[in-house]
Chain A
Amino acid sequence: MAYPVPIARKNLFHDRVRFIITLVGISFSVVLILVQVGVYLGMMYNTSSIIEHTDADIWITARNNRNFDFSMPFPEHRENLARAVPGAARTKKLILVWSLMKIKGGGSENVEMVGFDPESGIGGPWEMLQGAVGDVKFHRGVIVDESSTGKLGALAIGDYREVVNKKVRVVGICRGARRITTAPVLFTSYRTAQELNPWIDRQTVFVLVKAVPGADIAELRGRLARVMNLEDVYTRQQFINATRSYWTFSTGMGIAFGFTILMGIVVGAVIVSQTIYSATIEHLREFGTLKALGAENRMIYGIILQQALISGVLGFAIGLAINFAVVRAYSSTGQAIIQPWQLFAADFLITQLTCVAASLISVRKAMQVDPMEVFRA
């Protein structure tokens, strides 16, 4: 026999149907928030994964460029100006160009072609499943991401395809280079990218600068910006932020995700507050009896709060379990979903705060109960 008597827990478990409805509401909210934020973070990772995996401290782009995927080219000789800036250890050119690849059986597919320096591998694929990064130097070699097979069909090393009416040869399969645009990524050499897309002849899309060890990156960016006055100069993090910001705010994606996440919180709060409120109303006479027997208001408050928190913790645990099942199913489709531990901590906190806030309405009602009510038949 538990003593002190756990009134809150007993009240909750006594009415199982109501308790289950509460848990369903909370866990639904938890799953909605975790999955939506996870999918959003996965998409954000996709927007910036190439930037994050490229060994460069500074990204130089054409003027008024706002993101990685839709960058304009600029003359490649401008790289020489950057190379001469004190603090720049080395520079590399990188091309990102939209192109068309013919697929087996007819038709074509938009692809994002990344042309990088095959000697250094900077800007190239970072996780090879088959082949080697340097193989793109030969036979117009291209490396495709494993996720491309859905759009481009099955591809194997040695296969030939046409890009803008020119034959390319698959020399490698990589992993992790997925774009938010859903277009397949084709890695190739810088020169092959220019050859296949002649309208960017002698032009580059990015100049990547690596700082000398110990250099102040912000200062180096400032020096480069003064010299590269026809281009935009970003630190790596600034370019990641600019790209993510573009996809979040300029496409309406952020609003859509934000709205769904808000709905998750609101739905959870409404269900919890409604069920806790109706439970409080049902037990109002009992709270009045407790007050008549000499209970202070804080004990009543404690009971209602405990009910909210028990519901919150159990609802979160169930939601977490469902979330992991959803993540497993979602990941099996090849889509990225990222859920760092901070997300779980934040959602746990949001859930508990929502439950506590929802219980406040009930607390107010319970505080107002007249102990004389206990004498009414």
Chain B
Amino acid sequence: MSDETLSVVGVAKIYGGDGLSVPAVREATFACRSGTVTAIMGPSGSGKTTILSILGLLLKPTSGRVVLMGKDVTSLDERELPPLRRASIGFIFQSFNLFSSLTVLENVLVALQLQKVAKANAMGLAEAALTRVDLVKRANFYPRDLSGGEKQRVSIARAIASDAPIILADEPTANLDSKTGLKIIDLLYNLAEERRKTVVVVSHDLRLKEHVNRVLWMEDGVIHED
């Protein structure tokens, strides 16, 4: 199998209709490889989140193709996409998106639960993921008791627990101080390198450039190599 786990070919996304159309992404073509961290950078409103949503199979492009693990998934219907997301993609969110009523461990277990992982395995996988992000001691804490950096590490643990080959991170350092932010990026970089994950990070934080394998610059919906 090729190293290209996720790619888009000639993808465009136009919002609106009836004479009022706003192009958010224009003819984007690029591929992301396993074992690497790809950063999509650009100013606010440049279309970064839209392209991330397309990569995450949360949004259908207006035109073009999305290829996941060698398979064209552009035309799959709404019922076919959730299992594909569960199996292939882990998400990391700018606002962490943790479940406030669940403990750290339970937040990680939810991802495994969605994959229907048996209890005997789930507990071990969740603990391993928390160990990876150095949060085992906080397993029974609730999100409200964690710092921003810790919350983001829980989000990462949730994304890696199920061993999805692709990790999509939306502004993972935006709500963190610079030191914690860089630690998070290093963590993602190590994950990509050690566990052959395909990591795509969307960010407008220019400091990330030095810590990723590849940078794609996006402006007014147009994407190009930096």
How far is the CB of B111 from the nearest CB of chain A, in Å?
Answer: 6
Interface residue B171 (Cβ < 8 Å from any Cβ of A): yes
Task: Give Cα A291 to B114, complex, Å.
Answer: 10
Tell me whether A294 and B119 are in contact (CB under 8 A): no
Nearest residue in A to B155 (C-beta to C-beta)?
A289
B82 within 8 A of A: yes
The answer for the CA separation of A286 and B98 in the assembled complex, in Å, is 7
**B58 and A372 form a contact (CB under 8 A):** yes
Per the 8 Å Cβ criterion, residues 3-19 of A in contact with B are: 3-5, 7, 10-11, 13-15
Query: Which residues does chain B contribute within 8 Å of A285, judged by CB atoms?
Result: 95, 97
A376 to B79, CA, bound (A): 24
Q: Say yes or no: A375 contacts B113, CB within 8 Å.
A: no
Partner of B100, one of A4, A14, A293, A294: A14
Over the window 84-106 of chain B, the binary record of Cβ atoms lying under 8 Å from chain A Cβ atoms (1 yes, 0 no) is 11110101011101011110011
For residue A85, give the distance in angstroms from its CB to the closest CB of chain B.
Answer: 73
Given A286-B99, A372-B58, A372-B59, also A293-B174 (CB < 8 A): no
Known interface pairs A5-B110, A375-B93, A377-B94; A292-B58 also in contact (CB < 8 Å): yes
Check B97–A374 contact: CB distance below 8 A.
yes
Contact of A1 among B97, B99, B123 (CB under 8 A): B123
**Chain A interfacial residues counted at CB < 8 A:** 28
> Are the CB atoms of B109 and A5 closer together than 8 Å?
yes
From A291, A292, A372, A377, give the contact of B171 (CB < 8 A).
A377
> Which A residues between 198 and 232 are near B, CB-CB below 8 angstroms?
none
Q: Is the CB of A375 within 8 A of B102?
A: no
Whether the Cβ atoms of A4 and B101 lie closer than 8 Å is: no
Residues of A within 8 A of B52 (CB): 375
Q: Is B49 an interface residue (CB 8 A)?
A: yes
Give the distance in Å from the alpha carbon of A294 to the alpha carbon of B99 in the complex.
15
Once the chains bind, are B58 and A371 in contact (CB under 8 Å)?
yes
CA distance A3 to B110 in the complex (A): 9
Is B170's CB within 8 Å of the partner chain A?
yes
Which among A4, A13, A288, A294 has the highest number of chain B CB atoms within 10 Å?
A294
Count of chain B residues with a beta carbon within 8 Å of a chain A beta carbon = 39
- The chain A residue with its CB closest to the CB of B101 is A14
B106: which of A10, A286, A293, A375 is its contact (CB, 8 Å)?
A: A10
The CA-CA distance from A230 to B102 in the complex, in Å, is 77
A290 and B53 CA atoms in complex are apart in Å by 15
Taking CB atoms, residues of chain B closer than 8 Å to A286 are 97, 99-100
- Contact (Cβ within 8 A) B122 A3: yes
B17 within 8 Å of A (CB atoms): no
The CA of A7 and the CA of B102, in the complex, are separated in Å by 7
Question: Does any Cβ of A come within 8 Å of B35's Cβ?
Answer: no
| B56 touches A (CB below 8 Å) | yes
- When distances are taken between beta carbons in the complex, the residues of chain A under 8 Å from B58 are 292, 371-372, 374
Which residue of B has the minimal Cβ distance to A296? B82
**Is the beta-carbon distance between A375 and B123 smaller than 8 angstroms?**
no
Task: Count chain A CB atoms within 10 A of each CB in B101, B114, B115 and give the residue with the most.
Answer: B101
Q: Is B19 an interface residue (CB 8 A)?
A: no
Residues in B whose Cβ lies below 8 Å from that of A15? 101
**B201 vs chain A, min Cβ distance (A):** 13
User: Given contacts A375-B94, A377-B174, are A4 and B113 in contact (CB under 8 A)?
Assistant: yes
Q: Which residue of B56, B83, B99 is within 8 Å of A7 (Cβ)?
A: B99
Indicate whether A256 reaches chain B with its CB closer than 8 angstroms: no
What chain A residues lie within 8 Å of B97 (beta carbons)?
Answer: 285-286, 288-289, 374
Residues of A within 8 A of B53 (CB): 371-372, 375
Contacts A3-B123, A7-B99; is A294 near B82 (CB within 8 Å)?
Answer: yes
Using Cβ atoms and an 8 Å threshold, which residues of chain A touch B95? Answer: 285, 376-377
Kindly list chain A residues whose C-beta atoms are within 8 Å of the C-beta of B111. 293
Question: How far, in angstroms, from A290 to B174 measured CA to CA in the complex?
Answer: 22
A266 to B85, CA, bound (A): 42
Q: Which residues of A contact B (CB under 8 A)?
A: 1, 3-5, 7, 10-11, 13-15, 285-286, 288-296, 299, 371-372, 374-377
B residues engaging A (CB < 8 A)? 49, 52-53, 56, 58-59, 79, 82-87, 89, 91, 93-95, 97, 99-102, 105-106, 109-111, 113-115, 119, 122-123, 158, 170-171, 174-175
Name 18 A/B residue pairs within 8 A (Cβ), A-sorted: A1-B123, A3-B122, A4-B109, A5-B109, A7-B102, A10-B102, A14-B100, A14-B101, A286-B100, A292-B56, A293-B86, A294-B114, A295-B114, A374-B97, A375-B49, A375-B52, A375-B94, A377-B174
Nearest 4 A/B pairs, CB to CB = A294-B86, A14-B101, A294-B85, A289-B97
